[in-house]
């Protein structure tokens, strides 16, 4: 009996260690080139600094989608500390990463259940994408903040991750000011937080300080964007996935139905293959000096 459990355990460990491999290969086959093509076709004019609030450890999507990416600023509630490459992920971290490759996003609840260091997951994604010369440093004056430099596609790039709450009670606008200018702000699988009252200060700040949003329907609601931004919808918006009764956007749905855009064969946020994918590119009509 005991031997049986031991063998099962060994088997589980072996499968877990190989976990991200096949899933990444599948992601690479099915999604990677589609994301690169999407960026080359639609995001060639956006600048070099990508700000990704509620981004957690996701560096794969911004790195593939934004052809001009030089600096990525990421924020989430997960802890971060410097670590050397290459990293060995534990089973919990591997599970987190598998969610990105399988479903296109990291799950907050799974990360809260035991992710020890966002930097581990970032380094593993960089390794999978064949980035080189990777270095990690703490960001001075902040805890749970790391700066990662690397070469990707022969160009030097930098990622800064900050653990920071963005709800009205925790948001630090002075700190956000220091990160400007934002060339482009990315929202994907943002738990519909920018729709919600407790995030109104954050939402208003972003509306005042962003040139371009690239987002799924969890980002800034359509009604806040439609007058001040030029909109370019890719794919179709139908409804929120698995958020019953919440965060529906009737005007956005009408706008999408009128446009009749073809289905987008990319996974980008909640409900991949269950509801149509939508990526909205919203560009400020009059650009003040940001
Ligand atoms: C569902 S995950 C998605 C992560 C990433 N956007 C992706 O697509 O993989 C949502 C992220 O929002 C962050 N988050 C949740 N509540 C937050 C808050 N109050 N302030 C800042 N970030 C928050 C979580 O820590 C997590 O990193």
Q: Are 111 and 78 in contact (CB under 8 A)?
A: yes
The domain that holds 176 is classified in CATH as: 3.40.50.150
Q: Are 167 and 199 in contact (CB under 8 A)?
A: yes
4 pLDDT tier (thresholds 50, 70, 90) = low
Average pLDDT, the chain: 92
| Per-residue pLDDT at 48 | 97
Shortest-distance atom of ligand 1 to CA 187: 6
Which residue is listed with tokens 């004056």?
141
Q: Are 74 and 160 in contact (CB under 8 A)?
A: yes
Using most ligand atoms within 8 A of CB, pick from 31, 35, 52, 56 the residue to mutate for ligand 1.
Answer: 56
| Per-residue pLDDT at 288 | 59
Per cent of the chain over pLDDT 70 is 91
CA of 9 to the centre of ligand 1 (A): 32
- Rounded to the nearest 10 degrees, the angle between the axes of helix 91-103 and helix 2-17 is 50
Residues in the ligand 1 pocket, defined by CB under 6 Å: 54-56, 58, 75-78, 100, 105-108, 165-167, 188-191, 193
> 221 pLDDT exceeds 70?
yes
The residue whose CA is least distant from atom 16 of ligand 1 is 77
Domain span at residue 162? 21-284
Tokens (6 digits) for 44: 């060639």
* Contacts for 28 with CB less than 8 Å, ≥ 6 apart: none
For range 219-234, the mean pLDDT: 98
Q: Look at 17-21, 29-33, 200-204 and tell me which has the smallest mean pLDDT.
A: 17-21
12 pLDDT tier (thresholds 50, 70, 90) = very low
Tokens (6 digits) for 52: 């990704």
The widest CA-to-CA distance across the chain, in whole angstroms, is 71
The CB density around residue 272, as the number of other CB atoms within 10 Å, is 17
Shortest-distance atom of ligand 1 to CA 112: 25
> 3 pLDDT exceeds 90?
no
Shortest-distance atom of ligand 1 to CA 77: 25
For the sheet with 71-76, list strands across it: 132-138, 145-152, 155-163, 71-76, 49-52, 182-187, 210-215, 278-284, 229-235
| Per-residue pLDDT at 85 | 85
Asked whether residue 16 is assigned to any structural domain, the reply reads: no
Shortest-distance atom of ligand 1 to CA 199: 19
8 pLDDT tier (thresholds 50, 70, 90) = very low
Identify any residues that bridge with 157 across adjacent strands, giving them in sequence order.
150
The residue whose CA is least distant from atom 21 of ligand 1 is 165
| Per-residue pLDDT at 243 | 75
Asked whether residue 104 is assigned to any structural domain, the reply reads: yes
For range 76-93, the mean pLDDT: 94
- pLDDT tens string 116-174: 999 999 999 999 999 999 999 999 999 999 999 999 999 999 999 999 999 999 999 99
Asked whether residue 9 is assigned to any structural domain, the reply reads: no
Asked whether residue 289 is assigned to any structural domain, the reply reads: no
Give the number of domains in the chain.
1
Q: Look at 14-18, 63-67, 205-209 and tell me which has the smallest mean pLDDT.
A: 14-18
Shortest-distance atom of ligand 1 to CA 167: 19
C-alpha distance across the termini of the chain, in Å: 67
262 pLDDT tier (thresholds 50, 70, 90) = very high
CA of 108 to the centre of ligand 1 (A): 6
Asked whether residue 109 is assigned to any structural domain, the reply reads: yes
Task: Write down the H helix ranges in 232-290.
Answer: 250-259
DSSP helix/strand/coil, 286: coil
Asked whether residue 13 is assigned to any structural domain, the reply reads: no
Nearest partner of 280 among 220, 239, 228, 224, judged by Cα: 220
CA distance 248 to 270: 14
Asked whether residue 8 is assigned to any structural domain, the reply reads: no
The number of residues in the chain equals 290
CA distance 62 to 208: 22
Asked whether residue 264 is assigned to any structural domain, the reply reads: yes
Chain Cα centroid distance, residue 69: 14
């Amino acid at each position: 009996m005991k031997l049986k459990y031991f063998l099962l355990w060994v088997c589980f460990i072996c499968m877990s260690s190989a976990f991200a491999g096949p899933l990444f290969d599948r992601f690479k086959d099915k999604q990677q080139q589609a994301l690169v093509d999407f960026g080359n076709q639609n995001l060639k004019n956006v600048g070099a600094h990508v700000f990704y609030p509620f981004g957690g450890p996701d560096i794969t999507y911004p790195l593939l989608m934004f052809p001009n990416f030089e600096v990525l600023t990421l924020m989430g509630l997960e802890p971060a500390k410097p670590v050397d490459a290459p990293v060995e992920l534990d089973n919990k971290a591997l599970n987190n990463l598998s969610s990105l490759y399988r479903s296109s996003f990291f799950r907050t609840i799974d990360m809260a259940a035991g992710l020890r260091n966002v930097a581990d997951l970032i380094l593993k994604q960089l390794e999978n994408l064949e980035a080189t010369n990777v270095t990690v440093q703490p960001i001075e004056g902040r805890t749970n903040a790391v700066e990662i430099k690397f070469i990707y596609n022969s160009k030097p790039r930098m990622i800064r991750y900050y653990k920071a709450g963005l709800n009205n009670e925790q948001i630090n606008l002075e700190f956000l000011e220091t990160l400007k200018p934002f060339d482009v702000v990315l929202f994907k699988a943002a738990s519909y937080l920018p729709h919600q009252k407790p995030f109104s200060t954050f939402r208003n700040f972003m509306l005042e300080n962003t040139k371009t949003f690239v987002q799924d329907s969890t980002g800034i609601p359509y009604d806040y964007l439609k007058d001040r931004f030029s909109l370019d919808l890719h794919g179709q918006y139908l409804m929120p996935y698995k958020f019953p009764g919440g965060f529906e956007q009737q005007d956005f749905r009408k706008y999408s139905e009128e446009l009749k855009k073809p289905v987008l064969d990319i996974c980008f946020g909640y409900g991949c293959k269950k509801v149509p994918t939508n990526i909205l590119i919203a560009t400020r009509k009059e650009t003040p000096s940001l």
